[in-house]
Amino acid sequence: MRILVVEDDWITAQMLTHALEAFGYSVTVAEDGDEAYQYVRSGEFRLVVTDWEMPGMSGLELCQRIRSRSSGGYVYVILLTSYTGVENVVRGLDAGADEYLTKPFTTEELAMRLRVGERILSLESRDMTIFALAKLAESRDSETGEHLERMREYCRILAEELSTHPRYREIVDGEYVAQMYLTSPLHDIGKVGIPDSILLKPGKLTSKEFEIMKEHALIGGRTLQSVAEQHPEASYLRMARDIALTHHERVDGGGYPVGLRGESIPLCGRIAALADVYDALTSKRVYKDAYDHAIAKEIILSERHQHFDSDIVDAFISREEDFLSVSQRYQSEVVESITNESLLTNA
Amino acid sequence: MSTVTSNTTLTPLTSAQVLDLPQLLERCLGDLAFAERCLVKFQQRLQADVEQLQESVNAGDTFEVARIAHLIKGSAATVAAMPLAETANAVEAAARQEVSCDAELVTATEVFVKEVKRFMDVVPMFSTIG
């Protein structure tokens, strides 16, 4: 990640650069606030460590200028200064600094404060934006109802169950579960690139049309890959990419778009595959009625080692009551919604 | 405004009291060669900054005195020369007083200049640390 150091003192600038580069950051140094502000305006820096007292624009003024900008993403600012005392800390934070560190810095504290900054940046509006994007993509395909809401619940349940499994305990922690919940709604985002004539076709797709439909996995995967490359600090984007790209792969190698096999399919893709199919089976479509849970379960069991990873099938079996509960909850919400609409129409 | 002289007497300090080497090395992530380069650069800059500061004191330009003292305080603290940072802080505080007190500023500057001399005398022994 890129970081902007704003410091007119050569020694401090060198020491900060030395430490930050060792932490893995790419460092640019500006010698005063004016130069720094030009860098910030380029949009290439979202982490800034700035001195307070500098010739020209001070660090305090720089904070105020950054906060008064109406465009661009959030810029996380750490004020690093020789000014001590509560009054100065209040002035610094009031000007818009996120953190206030006094010189001399310790490398350990600096690294910790920067990690906090990275976390904040990573979380910025992300949850709402992701789900809004997913809903927007889904809105073209009106028959799927509350598919995204159910899908993320199923993914969360499966990931939670796998987190108790010795094979997955080191991989699937609380953050992994949260990221599955966050990113799984993006699995079909590539459908925005599929023509209406195919996506909304009421009947069965021809083999040629199906080939085009299959491209949605690649489209989604590539789109999210390009976003992930621009934000390498956001690990959830890599998970979103993996899910979009691989949720139609099968462990027997018969899936698409690549035909990956077994564990070469990312775990998140294998989880999303089962969640997606379960929801498709238990939901009504133009071409079929909703299957009940018992039939869906039977189909999923029959696909163990073929379509689905056996560990994930086991997780599904262990938590089938939770799957059923989610399925029923969203069905009753749909019924309630329809009833309310009828009452309003008749009023 | 009184002129800065070097009449103040201070007890000689050991090298450890002039420079906190473990703290400096922590900040340099244990890179001795880098620590030495920073010290050399700091010494070079310090001499020029001190001369400029003394000229500003003698000229009664307290704004400039405070600015230079603040700069030295920050870089001295960064290279872990804590007594030097503290005496620079005293100069800055005296220069920033709302009611100017020449005597206090001159005394603070004399103490600071003495500390600079100690630092210059002691630090060359660190040139072999790398």
- The answer on A133 and A27 residing in a single domain is no
Looking at the complex, report in whole angstroms how far the Cα of residue A111 sits from the nearest Cα belonging to chain B: 12
Q: What is the mean pLDDT of residues A44-59?
A: 92
Angle at alpha carbon of residue A148, lines to A147 and A151, rounded to 5°? 80
Looking at the complex, report in whole angstroms how far the Cα of residue A52 sits from the nearest Cα belonging to chain B: 11
Whether ipTM tops 0.90, in short, is no
Would you say A271 and A180 are in contact if contact means Cβ atoms under 8 Å apart? Answer: yes
Say what percent of chain A tops pLDDT 70: 92
Would you say A286 and A272 are in contact if contact means Cβ atoms under 8 Å apart? Answer: no
- The answer on A156 and A305 residing in a single domain is yes
| Token pair 């105020």: residue | A64
Cβ B79–A105 below 8 Å, yes or no?
no
- How confident is the prediction along chain B (130 residues), in pLDDT tens digits per residue? 444 444 444 444 455 578 898 999 999 999 999 999 999 999 989 999 999 999 999 998 999 999 999 999 999 999 999 999 999 999 999 998 866 668 889 999 999 999 999 888 887 665 554 4
Does A35 or A231 have the greater pLDDT score?
Answer: A35
Cβ B78–A107 below 8 Å, yes or no?
no
Cβ B28–A105 below 8 Å, yes or no?
no
- The answer on A143 and A117 residing in a single domain is no
User: Residue B38 is nearest to which of A14, A53, A103, comparing CB atoms?
Assistant: A14
- How confident is the model at residue A2, as a pLDDT? 92
- The answer on A175 and A189 residing in a single domain is yes
A50 touches chain B (CB under 8 A): no
**Cα torsion B96, B102, B104, B110: sign:** positive
Residue A135: pLDDT above 90?
Answer: no
Residue A231: pLDDT above 90?
Answer: no
- The answer on A137 and A51 residing in a single domain is no
Question: What's the pLDDT band for A136 if we cut at 50, 70, 90?
Answer: confident
- How confident is the model at residue A72, as a pLDDT? 60
Would you say A253 and A259 are in contact if contact means Cβ atoms under 8 Å apart? Answer: yes
Does the residue B78 lie in any domain? yes
The pair of three-digit structure tokens given for residue B112, joined into one six-digit string? 């600071």
Residues in chain B: 130
State the DSSP string of A65-103. Answer: HHHH--SSS--EEEEEES--SHHHHHHHHHHT-SEEEES
The pair of three-digit structure tokens given for residue A149, joined into one six-digit string? 């809401």
Q: What is the mean pLDDT of residues A191-196?
A: 90
The chain-wide mean pLDDT, for chain A, equals 89
Mutate to test the interface with B, among A14, A82, A83, A101 (most CBs of B within 10 A): A82
Picking from A105, A123, A141, the residue at the C-terminal end of a domain is A123
- The answer on A179 and A207 residing in a single domain is yes
Chain B partners within 8 Å of A82 (Cβ): 70, 73-74, 77, 89
- The answer on A88 and A47 residing in a single domain is yes
Distance CA A335, CA A337 (A): 5
Nearest to A6 by CA among A42, A43, A41, A53: A53
Cβ B34–A107 below 8 Å, yes or no?
no
Does the residue B129 lie in any domain? no
Picking from A91, A123, A155, the residue at the C-terminal end of a domain is A123
B43 touches chain A (CB under 8 A): no
Which residues, in sequence order, are CB contacts of A271 under 8 Å at separation 6+?
A155, A158, A159, A162, A180, A184, A312
Q: In this predicted model, what pLDDT tens digit does every residue of A87-111 receive, in sequence order?
A: 999 999 999 999 999 999 999 999 9
Picking from A123, A151, A182, the residue at the C-terminal end of a domain is A123
Question: What's the pLDDT band for A121 if we cut at 50, 70, 90?
Answer: confident
The pair of three-digit structure tokens given for residue A32, joined into one six-digit string? 């005063």
Pairing verdict, β A76-81 and A2-6: unpaired
Residue B81 sits in which domain range?
Answer: 16-123
Angle at alpha carbon of residue A37, lines to A34 and A38, rounded to 5°? 90
Question: What's the pLDDT band for A229 if we cut at 50, 70, 90?
Answer: confident
- The residue of chain B nearest to residue A17, with distances taken between CA atoms, is B28
Distance CA A83, CA A101 (A): 9
Chain B partners within 8 Å of A20 (Cβ): none
Cβ A53–B70 below 8 Å, yes or no?
yes
The residue type of A97 is A
**Cα torsion A203, A206, A211, A212: sign:** negative
User: Residue A103 is nearest to which of B38, B45, B77, comparing CB atoms?
Assistant: B77
- The answer on A288 and A167 residing in a single domain is yes
Residue A175 sits in which domain range?
Answer: 126-346
Say what percent of chain A tops pLDDT 90: 67
Buried b or exposed e, range B49-83, using 16+ CB within 10 angstroms: bbebbbebbeeebbebbbbbbbbbbbbbbbbbbbb
Q: CATH number for the domain including A267?
A: 1.10.3210.10
Does the residue B110 lie in any domain? yes
The residue type of A106 is T
- How confident is the model at residue A344, as a pLDDT? 43
- How confident is the model at residue A29, as a pLDDT? 97
Does the residue B4 lie in any domain? no
Cβ B27–A19 below 8 Å, yes or no?
yes
| Residue A105: C-alpha distances to residues A98, A100, A251, B42, B77 (Å) | 16, 11, 51, 17, 9
User: Residue A15 is nearest to which of B28, B45, B89, comparing CB atoms?
Assistant: B28
Does the residue B45 lie in any domain? yes
User: Residue B28 is nearest to which of A9, A18, A81, comparing CB atoms?
Assistant: A18
A23 touches chain B (CB under 8 A): no
Q: What is the mean pLDDT of residues A161-185?
A: 91
- The answer on A85 and A159 residing in a single domain is no
How many distinct structural domains can be found in chain B? 1
- How confident is the model at residue A255, as a pLDDT? 97
Chain B partners within 8 Å of A53 (Cβ): 67, 70-71, 74
Chain B partners within 8 Å of A12 (Cβ): 74-75, 78
Residue A269: pLDDT above 70?
Answer: yes
Chain B partners within 8 Å of A104 (Cβ): 23, 27, 77-78, 80, 85
Question: What's the pLDDT band for A71 if we cut at 50, 70, 90?
Answer: low
- How confident is the model at residue A338, as a pLDDT? 45
- The answer on A119 and A181 residing in a single domain is no
User: Residue A15 is nearest to which of B45, B73, B78, comparing CB atoms?
Assistant: B78
Distance CA A42, CA B15 (A): 46
How many distinct structural domains can be found in chain A? 2
- How confident is the model at residue A343, as a pLDDT? 43
User: Residue B74 is nearest to which of A12, A14, A19, comparing CB atoms?
Assistant: A12
- How confident is the model at residue A31, as a pLDDT? 94
Q: Is A247 helix (H, G, I), strand (E, B) or coil?
A: coil
Q: CATH number for the domain including B88?
A: 1.20.120
Does the residue B9 lie in any domain? no
Distance CA A124, CA A32 (A): 28
Q: What is the mean pLDDT of residues A23-51?
A: 93
